[in-house]
A and B are shown apart, each in its own frame.
Chain A
Amino acid sequence: MTRSPDGRPSPVVSLQFDRVDRRYEPGAPLTARYRVEGLGDEPIEAVEHSVLWYTEGKGEEDLGVHFFARVEGEAARPGDGTITFHTRLPASPLSYEGVIVKVRWCARVRIFFRAARDFVSEHVFEVGRLPPARLVTAEAP
């Protein structure tokens, strides 16, 4: 069992994508399954899982949620089994490794505990096959 910075037990979310390399084409179907361990007896309020893109870099973080689901109450406790969800990815945005703007796709699992704390597990995957940007000028064709 792992511990959070404030000493309380932390859950561990093991999430697998249906593609081992985690690379998807825009418009492709995505399936993910996850298992949560280390919940202990702490009562949970809800569990959410989502597929979203977010920006990272020098700017304020923006995000766009493509798929979202929430389960309330103790029915949300995943128990011993895995939870699976499916979605079809949109045509854009593609994953992009820019200089001051990066676009990332991820699946997030968020667990809300009754004790007014929540835990987020993020799992990045790629959409598209774009090379990283760079700062130098390209040669003339």
Chain B
Amino acid sequence: MRLPRVFGKKRGHRRTGSQIWGTVGDAAFHAALLLAGIVFGGLLVSGVAVPEWRINHDYLPARCTVVGKRIERRVADRLPGAWHAALLLRYETDGTVREAWAWPEPAAGAGDRDQAVRRLAAWPLGDEVPGWYDPAAPGTVVLQRGYNWWMWLLALLLPGALIAFGGAGLLRAARRWGKSEEHRAASAGLPELLDPLAQRPRASQGHPTVPCCDDLVNSPGTILRYRLPIESPENWTLLGFGLFALLWNAVLTVLAVQAGIDLLGGRRDWLLFALLLPFAIVGIAGIAVFIRGIILASAVGTTQVEIADHPLRPGGSYGLMLAQAGSGEFRELSLSLELEERATFRQGTDTRSERVVVWRQPIRVWQDVELSPGTRFEAHATVRVPPTAMHSFASEHNSVRWMLVVHGTPTRWPAFQRVFPLVVFPPAAEAAEVMR
């Protein structure tokens, strides 16, 4: 059965599902966020930031005498224990003697009532203390200046986030409004603005959608020109197991110590004891898995692949050098070239990825390889990229990837696979002409 013909009869009309989503609700939502941020920010600035700034810049100094004391609960602070000390101060402004109440520790509550009364003793009656008064309202006096940076941060953080989120969303909605998907994609910088967190791969110069290979050619080889980086999920898995074992056993230790303290104190918390056993089993298993992973990683040893040139072109032949470290015997060590397609898709609220190897070419296979500690197995090979090979391709949700795959079967350990990505460019113009 043949592939469907690409060009055929018109298939009629339909609605597609990949088209524009309008922005009416979107714009209104972000406008509301922006407005909320501005209003909230305005309230915080006028209620917190501006008064604090005025205290530090506009208020004038005065010598104050303590002529009265009391404790109080402020209206905004009617919490149990939130008592404050307050001092009645006498001071002079422009020849006028005034009296006003001030709070020596305005930011903190004094705790309970007795604590507040004890704190008042720090300011005996008749004491002189430095103060600052508001020239615009001389009846207002403060005993402390300076900036409470935490308050500024909090005052700006939430409204700032609302303004940033709302403003950016409104800008996106405005720029997207009425634009087709082609227009949005064609507008410089707009895709990045519309979805700033999307992972757009970097492309090679002059070759749109061909991944940039700078990261693949920044490591010189010892024998051939480049050493290829390894794409090794097993390292991340090992790290993950290690972190899990560490955290889990830390929690287990805390629980065990608590249980021990309880037991020594004559208390028996049966629930805690019951939890300890399964926790301990999981903790020990976690450590065992992690140690096994470490042993496997060190027993099998590192794999390195070097290549004579990079990036690759269809029809080209390239020298390779494989180096495998470790100890013991390998039943088989093989090197192959693979082409893999990857697609990421949304299934409702799930995001899933699918990978399919669509082409595989064995390059070399070595049987019964003997490795000694401190030495490594080295072998040379040649990889030929088929003349009609698809180039490497990467877009936001889809990719076509070339890679060298080393597959090893040690005698005493589980088989392993290590992947070394490659970038294949489209054929050069002259080569394309020859092929035609």
Chain A contact residues, CB within 8 Å of chain B? 2, 4-5, 10, 22, 25-27, 48, 50, 52-53, 55, 57-66, 68, 70, 90-94, 96-101, 103, 108, 110, 112, 118, 120, 124, 126, 128-135, 137-138, 140-141
Contacts and interface: CB of A to CB of B under 8 A. Distances in A.
Given A26-B426, A60-B344, A94 B391 contact: yes
Which 7 A-B pairs give the minimum distances between C-beta atoms?
Answer: A59-B343, A68-B186, A62-B395, A60-B397, A65-B186, A133-B358, A50-B182
A2 B435 CA distance: 43
Nearest to A103: B393
B396 A62 contact: yes
A140 B395 CA distance: 31
Given A60-B344, A60-B345, A140-B362, A101 B398 contact: yes
A93 B391 contact: yes
16 contacts: A50-B182, A50-B186, A62-B395, A62-B398, A64-B209, A66-B208, A92-B393, A93-B209, A100-B341, A101-B393, A103-B400, A129-B435, A131-B388, A133-B358, A133-B359, A134-B359
B390 A94 contact: yes
B206 interface: yes
Given A5-B14, A101-B341, A62 B397 contact: yes
A30 to B, nearest CB: 15
Interface string B148-191: 00000000000000000000000000000000111101100000
B359 A138 contact: yes
Contacts of B15: 5
A93 B393 contact: yes
Interface of B: 3, 6-7, 13-16, 18, 180-183, 185-186, 206-210, 339, 341-346, 354, 356, 358-362, 384, 388-391, 393, 395-400, 425-426, 429, 432-433, 435-436
A58 B358 CA distance: 14
- Chain A's interface: helix, strand, loop or mixed, by majority? loop
Given A101-B399, A138-B359, A48 B182 contact: yes
B197 to A, nearest CB: 15
Given A48-B183, A59-B344, A129-B435, A91 B395 contact: no
A93 B391 CA distance: 8
Contacts of A141: 361, 384
A99 B208 contact: no
A104 B346 CA distance: 21
A93 B185 contact: no
A128 to B, nearest CB: 7
B398 A132 contact: no
Given A50-B186, A100-B354, A129 B388 contact: yes
Contacts of A138: 359-361
Nearest to A22: B7
Given A25-B432, A48-B183, A57-B343, A99 B7 contact: no
Contacts of A57: 341, 343, 398
Contact of A59 (B6, B345, B358): B345
B250 to A, nearest CB: 40
A14 to B, nearest CB: 11
Contacts of B389: 130
Nearest to B351: A60
Given A99-B341, A112-B180, A131-B388, 10 more contacts: A25-B433, A48-B183, A50-B182, A55-B398, A60-B346, A92-B209, A93-B208, A98-B358, A101-B398, A141-B361
A101 B185 contact: no
A99 B384 CA distance: 23
Contacts of B209: 53, 64, 92-93
